[in-house]
Structure formats: structure tokens, C-alpha cells
Amino acid sequence: MKLILLGPPGAGKGTQAESLAKRRGLIQLSTGDMLRAAVKAGTEIGRKAEAVMKSGGLVSDEIVIGIISDRIAEPDCANGFILDGFPRTLKQAAALDELLDSKGTILDAVIELRVDDSALLSRIEKRAADTVAAGGTIRADDNADALKTRLMAYYRETSPLVGYYFAQGKLRTLDGMAPIETVAAKIDELLGTP
Ligand code: AMP
């Protein structure tokens, strides 16, 4: 099964992708996690991405498309994957369609998590507080300033994907304001029995 989780920063894509991946034996592919790992490792991609990520902007299509096409080609993705944070632009979505087409496969569904904008800042603040409480390091972009830029990037670049996937008949929209377990149950309901 090949899925996309779509939604603004703080919508719960990462949380849902992680638990869904476990429940269904799928691989979670988070471009944000991959880029943060590249920044930490100090690779060339990491050096190119670091400042733009910190500000809340989008890393270039070329970089993220390259990362995803390499990762999807790995054998563990053959059984299926959940894309979390990719695609984020129409160009990325078109590149993904081409990539899957070249492998003779298609997307099963795009799950959009709808969340009130007013809830996003408190969710991001909570994530930062939980990370600190667990002894971890706060993400460089989990702050009010970067969130504004991330939200603008979402509305300008990513939200057109809602229409793109609706037109493809792939879009399934869920209420992302519901408790985590309820959203997870709704996802299972719409995907059907594994
Ligand atoms: P995330 O962990 O999904 O919130 O992503 C964190 C940051 O990584 C984003 O704000 C972007 O700077 C960058 N990023 C992650 N995925 C993408 C993508 N598909 N396209 C462009 N930038 C991305």
C-alpha cells in the first residue's frame, strides 16, 4: 500500500504515519526526518538545507525529489510506504507520479488531516515541551516565527495538492482535530482490513 499523509505543520502527520506504519508493516518516509538526519550528519544536502529549514521555508524540489526517489528504490519499500511531508509542491507531486508510474505502480490514497489553524501553534508548542520533558532537543523550526513561515509555505505551495489529488480521485479527508486514537481508527476504517 502506498499512501500520502497531507496536512499543515502540526496536523499530526508524523504521529499518524508512525503508528499506521507499525499497524500495517509499512515504511514511514518522512522527508523532514531525512533532512534533519542530513543536517546532523553534516552532509552536503544537510548543509544546503539547514538554514532554509530553520527559517521554516521549503527545501528545493530537486533535493527532496532526489532523496525520495533514492529511498523508494530501496528493497524495504517494496511492500509499501507512507509518505509524511512529501510531496509539498505540485512539482514534487508530478515527480512522484512519474516515479511510481515508471515502477508500474500507483498511489492507493492521500489522507488529508484537516486541523484548525488556531490549534497549530499550541500543538507545535506542546511538541516542543514534550520533547524537552523527554530529555530531547527541540526542533530548530518549532517556534512561533518559523511556524508562520511554515504555514505560509503550506498555503502557498502545498495546499494546491488537495485539489490535485481530489481530481485524481485519491483524496480522503479526515478531521485531524479529533483525539489521536480516533484519527487512527478513522484511517483504518477508510483503508479497510489489511
Ligand atoms: P517536517 O518535519 O515535515 O515538518 O519538515 C521540516 C522541514 O523540512 C520543512 O519545514 C522544510 O523546510 C523541510 N522539508 C521537509 N519535507 C520537505 C519537502 N517535501 N519539500 C521541501 N521541504 C521539505
β-sheet with 109-114: strand ranges across: 27-30, 81-84, 2-6, 109-114, 171-175
- Closest CA relative to residue 159, chosen from 117, 107, 98: 117
Q: Strand 109-114 and strand 81-84: pairing?
A: unpaired
Taking the centre of ligand 1 as the mean of its atom positions, its distance from the CA of residue 25, in whole angstroms, is: 24
Instruction: Give the list of residues 6+ apart from residue 170 with CB closer than 8 angstroms, or none.
Output: 107, 108, 109, 110
Taking the centre of ligand 1 as the mean of its atom positions, its distance from the CA of residue 160, in whole angstroms, is: 16
Kindly tell me if the per-residue pLDDT of 124 is higher than 90.
Answer: no
pLDDT in tens, 80-107: 999 999 999 999 999 999 999 999 999 9
pLDDT in tens, 11-67: 999 999 999 999 999 999 999 999 999 999 999 999 999 999 999 999 999 999 999
Is the minimum distance from the CB of 64 to ligand 1 under 6 angstroms?
Answer: yes
Under the banding of pLDDT at 50, 70 and 90, the label for residue 194 is confident
Average pLDDT for the chain: 95
Q: How far is CA 48 from CA 38, 40, 86, 125, 153, in A?
A: 10, 12, 18, 27, 18
Output phi, psi for 49, to 5 deg.
-90, -25
Taking the C-alpha atoms of residue 186 and residue 20, their distance in angstroms, rounded to an integer, is 11
Cell output for 86: 512529501
Cell output for 53: 529549514
Helix (H, G, I), strand (E, B) or coil at 168: coil
Is the minimum distance from the CB of 141 to ligand 1 under 6 angstroms?
Answer: yes
